[in-house]
Structure 1
Amino acid sequence: MKKLFVFTFIGFLAQLIDGSLGMAYGVTSSSLLLTFGMAPAIASASIHISEVVTTAASGISHMKFGNVDRQAVFKLIIPGSIGAFIGACFLSNMPGDVVKPYISLFLLMLGFYVVIRFLFKHKKSSEQKNLNLSTKQAIPLGLIAGFADATGGGGWGPLTTPILLSKDGNSARKVVGTVDTSEFAIAISATLGFLVSLGWQDVNWFWVIALMLGGIIAAPIAAWLVRVMPSHFLGVLVGGFIILTNIWTLLKVWSINNMAELFIYVTIVIFWISSIVFTMRKNQKNN
């Protein structure tokens, strides 16, 4: 019973971050399950089954608060679902750890771009109704992000959110809500892929139920936070989180001493906090 409460809280925290920043449910949950010795395929399967419920709750909440561009959702879900299904079926044969550092380096640069963009290039047009995303752009983005999500236990948000935020004219609120809502289809496709390749018997239902409970509670709270936070402030928060999560991935690969690693983390946190404070002051002056 104690473990149920602990992992329900983890599910709550993961969904609160994911629902308000557009990423990290899979990454957070996957890290936890792997720490407890679960095989990568089983961990990813458990996460995606729980996400079928949590992403549904998140999507409904985001739509209720007007955070979703439905046209962009439809553009993303078909290629994303295909990529997720393929990734789930071939997880055991894919060297995901080999590719992950290169993706993280790309996303790290995108994270800095997102922060700078929302710090110095905030315009009223960033609150436009529809996201700047064509079908030609959505197809490769959906395929790659869906595949990465299934093979890594998380990747839909970390890939789609920064890429959409880096495009001029896109509202941070709409990006987060659209990414979270479209993830429902990706979770279903990945789950089907895992069930085809693994079967039901290997799924850890204790983890699934615990993660579901926490995620359902957090979903409407996160959607409300996205609704009330100014778009440029949300953009800086998301950008900083992108930087932190990807530098963490890179530092696990690079061989550097502990002092250098600590210095990098402290520098990034100071940069992030300074950006948040600057954004808050800028918002006060504009009001």
Structure 2
Amino acid sequence: MIFGVDLSALLPFIAVGFAAQMVDGALGMAFGIINSTLLVSFLGVPPAHASAMVHAVETFTTAASGASHVLHRNINWRLFFRLVIPGMIGGALGAYVLSNIDASAAKPFVMAYLTSIGLYLLYRAWRGAVEPREPKIIEPLGLAGGFLDAAGGGGWGPVVTSNLLVQGASPRTTIGTVNTSEFFLTATISATFIATLGFAAFTFQTLGILIGGLIAAPFGGFLAKRVPARPLMAMVGVLLTLTSAYTVYRALVG
């Protein structure tokens, strides 16, 4: 025990943060959704507090991951500037909405959203790559992705990265650009949660997730170039679909 903190109790959260960030670095998605799913489904954290915790951590991990992608030249700067402002606006709106509704009422809807994202990831893994071409729908995608990211505790990567890839964007620069722009999104969402919820949502678990995420974050740019995306995407889809669907089932029958 150091400074009154039981380090052994932090280890599961460090492991979750590390694993989620390793997947996020390779796919440009899933850090927020993996953490939010586990916090809400298995630890009973209210959706708004889980989202606040995850986005506080992501403010730091996306900064480190974004620096890695810049270093490895994985950024499409034109796409970056078209995504970041709509994303910040959508994120602030989503955080405000989630902070001002009853948590128990929100939970089934949030988890149903996460289930649909899991199924979509499985579809993407099965469907495979598309021919590279310039995406056309960007700003509305950033707005929707930012809103759903805050409201669901994660979703910027799955919504934005997947839809850009569907439109034919290059996987490497799409992952790097979405990861880097996410720093500005998470900073905006965290500030909104602090304004609406205060600092009470940032708890002991947040520290463990932060430590694990920061350890893994510098590997993001490296993994985006070298790790096959389809198997990881399939595993994330299975995890999200099973855990989120189970929570929705419990809410409906319980």
Map of 1:5-154 to 2, 5 A cutoff? Answer: 5-34=11-40, 35-91=42-98, 92-93=100-101, 95=106, 97-98=108-109, 101=112, 105=116, 108=119, 111-112=122-123, 115-118=126-129, 126=132, 132-134=134-136, 137-154=137-154
- Name the % identity: 36
RMSD: 2.6
Q: Distance in 2 between matches of 1:153 and 1:106?
A: 12
* Structure with larger RCO (C-alpha < 8 A, sep 6+): 2
**Counterpart in 2 of 1:189?**
188
Do residues 221 (structure 1) and 189 (structure 2) align?
no
Bigger CA radius of gyration: 1
Q: Distance in 1 between matches of 2:25 and 2:70?
A: 12
Name the TM-score, length of structure 2 as normaliser.
Answer: 0.82
Per-residue CA distance 1:170-223 (angstroms, 9 max, x = gap): 2211121111111111101111110111112x1334222222211111112232
Query: Cα distance 1:151–1:99, how it changes in 2: closer, same or farther (>3 A)?
Result: closer
- How many aligned positions are there? 238
Name the TM-score, length of structure 1 as normaliser.
Answer: 0.73
Query: Cα distance 1:206–1:79, how it changes in 2: closer, same or farther (>3 A)?
Result: same
Query: Cα distance 1:106–1:28, how it changes in 2: closer, same or farther (>3 A)?
Result: closer
Which is worse superposed, 237-246 or 34-43? 237-246
**Counterpart in 1 of 2:231?**
237
Residue 134 of structure 2 aligns to a residue whose secondary structure is coil
**Counterpart in 1 of 2:202?**
204
Q: Distance in 1 between matches of 2:117 and 2:198?
A: 35
Per-residue CA distance 1:88-112 (angstroms, 9 max, x = gap): 1110428474476478548745753
Query: Cα distance 1:3–1:227, how it changes in 2: closer, same or farther (>3 A)?
Result: same
Structure 1: which 5+ runs fail to align? 256-287
Q: Distance in 2 between matches of 1:32 and 1:109?
A: 19
